[in-house]
Amino acid sequence: MADVRSIVRGPAGAVLNLVCVVLIAVLPSCSGEQPARDPQTDIDPQANATLAGRNKSLPCLACHGAEGISDYDAWPDLAGQKAEYLAKQLRDFRDGRRQDPWMSPMAIVLDDQDIDDLAVYFSRIDGLSGGPDSVPQPATVCVACHAARSGEANPLWPSIAGQNRRYIAKQLGDFRAGRRTDPIMAPLAGGLTDQDIETLAAFYAGT
C-alpha cells in the first residue's frame, strides 16, 4: 500500500494526492476486504466514532496530512482541534455558509454522521499546542476567546495555538475583507493592519 506520508506537497499536487487516496480507499473494498474490528468500539461510543472517522478520512489526507498535520502551511492542521468546531465548519462548507474551492465540493457529499465521525477522529489525535507565553499587543483581544496557548471555554471557538502561520494569516485577511463571515470575528478583524495580522499569525503559530 502507498505510504500517505510521501504524498506530493502543496496545492500543485493536491489533485494527484486526492486520486491516490481515493484509489487506496477503493481497492480494499473491491477485493472484499473489510476494516479490522476493534472490540473496544463495542463498549465505547467515542472509540466507535473514532474508528469510523479514521475509515472515512482518506480523502482528507492529501491536504491535511496522514495524522491531521498538514505539510503545507496554507492549509490547517486538524489534529487536536475541537470536535464541535470541526463539525460546525464541515456543516458550514456543506450547506454553503462557508465557501472554499477545495472544501466545499469535498463537504457537500457528507451526511451528518460522516461529519460527526470525522470531527471526533481528528479531535482525538494529539496536536495543536504551543505558542509563546508573552502576548503581543494585537493579541490582547484574541486571548479572551482563544486563550494564549489552549483552554478555550466555548467548544465552537477553535484552538489556534500551534496552527499553521499562513493559514491563520489568510483567515484573518478573509474576515477583514468579508470573504469569511462571523458576527464576532469580522468586526474584530476589520480593524487589523497587515502587520497586525502577521504578528498574530506568528504569535499563535509559535514562530
Percent of the chain residues topping a pLDDT of 90? 60
pTM equals 0.78
Q: CA–CA separation, 110 vs 118, rounded Å?
A: 10
pLDDT of residue 148: 78
Q: Which residues of 115-152 are buried (b: 16+ CB within 10 A; e: fewer)?
A: bbbbbbbbbbbebbeebeeeeeebbeebbeebbbbeeb
Give the model's confidence band at 189: pLDDT under 50 very low, under 70 low, under 90 confident, else very high: very high
Residues 4-123, CATH architecture = Orthogonal Bundle (1.10)
Instruction: Supply the mean pLDDT for the chain.
Output: 82
Q: CA–CA separation, 64 vs 70, rounded Å?
A: 4
Give the model's confidence band at 191: pLDDT under 50 very low, under 70 low, under 90 confident, else very high: very high
Query: Would you give the distance in Å from CA 200 to the centre of its chain?
Result: 19
Give the model's confidence band at 2: pLDDT under 50 very low, under 70 low, under 90 confident, else very high: very low
Domain regions of the chain by residue span: 4-123, 137-205
Is 137-205 a CATH 1.10.10.60 domain? no
Mean pLDDT in residue range 12-23: 47
Q: Is the pLDDT of residue 12 over 50?
A: yes
Give the model's confidence band at 151: pLDDT under 50 very low, under 70 low, under 90 confident, else very high: low
The domains spanning 4-123 and 137-205 adopt the same CATH topology: yes
Place of cell 451528518: 112
CB-based contact 25:58 (threshold 8 Å): yes
CB-based contact 206:162 (threshold 8 Å): yes
Give the model's confidence band at 128: pLDDT under 50 very low, under 70 low, under 90 confident, else very high: confident
